[in-house]
Amino acid sequence: MMKIVFLTGAGMSVESGLTTFRDAGGLWENYPVMSVASHDGWLRDPEYVNEFYNMLRTKYKDVKPNEGHRFVAELENNGNHDVVVVTQNVDSLHELAGSKNVIHLHGEMMKMCSSRDVDNPRFWVSLPHEGWEADGLEVPKGAKAGDGSLLRPYIVFFQENVPNMYDAVQEAQKADVFVIIGTSLNVYPAASLLQYVPKTAKVYLIDPKPAMAEGAHGVHVIAKGASEGMKELMEILGE
């Protein structure tokens, strides 16, 4: 069975109406990035950080998967391939489209976790949660994890390790086909995954404005958005 590993970034979700995280509705004008997306920012003012992510979740709640997400899920669910998605995105659009084998490198918007040990998934809490406000999308001030620490967004902040990177590397090393969608390969450590892909694997880059030329590093470029690019890839794979 062919193993296909996807590495997806912000461009995967653009067609669903999500702009890149930093550009989403000018959010960073009111919330400085290092105040709401860094470990130091969390330690300084956890209520301020949780307020920001409460607001973000209300923006994410009605977003739907696009055709690109559905094509990826179809490849997994038709039973012909072993498919794993490694994503830099914090949305749940791959899962909503039907993908089951998803590794989130930068965390998940709709989960909270212990602030004592962010690398330990034992204290994740998925939203919505009975008793929480705003249809379960708001985390009340002072909400606690199972270990008694403050609940914090399950987001990998700047200055923190990427706990799922090891799993992502393990999958990349077994790829027969490695597909990059909607990421410039400028964000590390995710960008380093390409170096773990076997030399025998076929590598595709789907991006309307690709950061590398056709043939560079053995990469086949499909210069299209996620949905049209996935449609072309399905044809290449004979689906």
235 class by beta-carbon count within 10 Å (0-12 exposed, 13-18 middle, 19+ buried): exposed
Catalytic residue among 69, 94, 104, 106: 106
Q: Rounded distance, CA 15 to CA 3, Å?
A: 26
What is the C-alpha to C-alpha distance for residues 36 and 49, in angstroms, rounded to an integer? Answer: 5
Characterize the bridge pairing of strands 177-181 and 202-206: parallel
Q: Which of 80, 110, 117 is nearest to 96 (CA)?
A: 110
d(CA 124, CA 109): 12
Beta pairing class for 107-114 and 102-104: unpaired
Whether residue 81 lies in the annotated active site: no
d(CA 175, CA 157): 28
Which residues are marked as active site?
106
